Amino acid sequence: MTTGVTVRVTASGLGCETWPRCNEDSFVPVPGVAPALHQGVEFGNRLLTFVLTAVAVALLLAIYRAGRRRELKTLAWAMPAGILAQAVIGGITVLTGLVWWTVALHLLPSMILAWLAAVLLVRIGERDDAPARRVVPRPLTWLTWLSAVLLAGVLVLGTMVTGAGPHAGDARVEAADRLQWPIQWLVHFHAELTVGYLCLVVGLVLGLLALRAEGPAIRRGVVLIVMIVAQAILGVTQYQLGVPELLVVLHVTLAGAITAMTGAIWAAGVLRERVPA
């Protein structure tokens, strides 16, 4: 997602003007067809898809070869499937000329993959033959789900803010293809949802502390609170400074990390004995 947002803020979204080819006559950039920077950034982002797919397939094969449990196989299948789906969505985004809602749809599946990857990372370190134990009471588990729902709202509003903001992804994107809503209203709504999400996470951590919950959920919750506060400060700063490119990249990257950490906290609700190091 970091390279994806870099494509956007460098106005390289149509550096490769079609898909799956880079241009009408070639799968790779052709000098002079578009600025070299724009072609390089967009084509590099496309190449990363192959790297990620190779890693995801290697992980999937390793899990099958080790005879791991079905839950891990399901999560592992989601990785290459999600990456390939993202490639197709990215192609649709280019073919439609970077219409704002297609760009939004291109980001959100990456956040889902970040969540699932975090859950897989937690689960893969557990013994397959160990019984699952609930270490977070069900009421607090529901609070975890509610915080995830609010996070989804924060992310959706974030894509809408971007859709109405100055970074269209390419200079050729027309105003009619941008979100025609007042950005001030969207920014404030986005910020209010973020505050609500932070309050839910704080409440979750306080509940876990009061119940002296075992496992890593408390530690991860504290880290998540710090990340959300940092993200809020970063968001306010970038808005006040006129949305500079570097801060946008950091903001989106941190959003992915926050999503992954939320997934890791959810996964900590039910644990198995860890595989010996």
Sorted by sequence, the CB contacts under 8 Å of residue 177 that are 6+ apart come out as 97, 98, 99, 100, 168
**Structure letter (DSSP) for residue 241:** T
Locate tokens 């949305």: which residue?
243
Task: Render pLDDT for 1-36 as a digit per residue (tens, 0 to 9).
Answer: 888 889 888 888 888 888 988 888 899 998 888 888
- What confidence tens digit (pLDDT) does each residue in 182-214 have? 999 999 999 999 999 999 999 999 999 998 888
Look at residue 168 and tell me whether its pLDDT is greater than 80. no
123 contacts 265 by C-beta, under 8 angstroms? no
